Amino acid sequence: MEHNDTYHYQVMRRAIETIDAAGDTQLTLAGLAAEMEMSPAHFQRLFSTWVGVSPKRYQQYLTLGHAKALLRDRHTTLDTAHEVGLSGSGRLHDLFVRWEAMSPGDYARDGADLTINWGWFDSHFGPALVMGTDRGICGLAFAAETGKASTMADMTARWPRAIFVENPDIVAGWASAALGMRGETQLHMLGAPFQLKVWEALLTIPSGHITTYSDIAQAIGSPKAVRAVGTAVGRNPVSWLIPCHRALRKSGGLGGYHWGLPVKRAMLAWESARCDAGDDLR
């Protein structure tokens, strides 16, 4: 990713806070640019580069009501979920993804005898921690809201018996493809069987669209397990590629997001704007 993507995210974060504080008041380009301490021209260029639409149009995607609009207009019910058990391939945007799952027995051993390489990379949504085994990416997390130290501690605690090695060169190719949504990458999913079912269902949601926790529960054949589905969504170790940010509450509320709600809102806004601009490439 370009080195200024983290800077762009920080501007987006401030813009979200500014728009929230304004309530129903529609901010002008000049007013919003002033809040960002930028010239209107600079602010316009930055936003157009980041998401492909003007700041004025982008505001509607960042409002608190956007989730309800998505639920009304872009709701995917997941009537039939894939049952390939995370063994196959698919396309996300311009990214071709191959994935496989660790066996339940290996997962139960908490990553024993497993070497996980990791590195930090810039992304559209702030600093991204990418982790990978010899078979593919097993972890993708965002630290803009939680901080790098907390994010690292969270991810390493998921597989406490694994050996973690800082070696960004090994995962750089996969990370570049994943964060740039171009080319091909591999996933090595480390989770319990129920979690794998939930993550597989998430993969069926198109970019720019959303589903609900109850829809996912229905799709995986456990309609009463909405709370457990929410927990599994929150434990998704490969954020963005396994799009847990596309799961909302049935009421239209954002629900939670493990790496911070501002990150989730920025992801939904970015995808919605690109989808409306005709760039829904999933």
Residue 4 DSSP SS3: coil
Query: Which among 244, 247, 254, 273 is annotated as catalytic?
Result: 244
> Between helices 55-62 and 40-51, what is the axis angle to 10°?
60
Residue 192 identity: A
Q: What is the DSSP letter of 75?
A: B
Asked if residues 272 and 61 have their Cβ atoms less than 8 Å apart, the reply is: yes
Residue 157 identity: A
> Between helices 5-22 and 40-51, what is the axis angle to 10°?
110
Is residue 218 packed enough to be buried (19+ CB in 10 Å), middle (13-18) or exposed (0-12)?
buried
- Rounded to whole angstroms, the Cα distance separating 216 from 233 reads 10
244 is catalytic: yes
Torsion of CA 242, 144, 184, 176, to 10 degrees: -170
Q: What is the DSSP string of 127-161?
A: -EEEEEETTEEEEEEE-TTT-HHHHHHHHHTTSTT
Cβ contacts of residue 279 below 8 Å, gap of 6+? Answer: 52
| Listed residue (263, 115, 109, 281) closest to 188, CA to CA | 115
- Rounded to whole angstroms, the Cα distance separating 127 from 254 reads 22
Residue 91 DSSP SS3: strand
Residue 38 DSSP SS3: coil
Known catalytic residues are 244
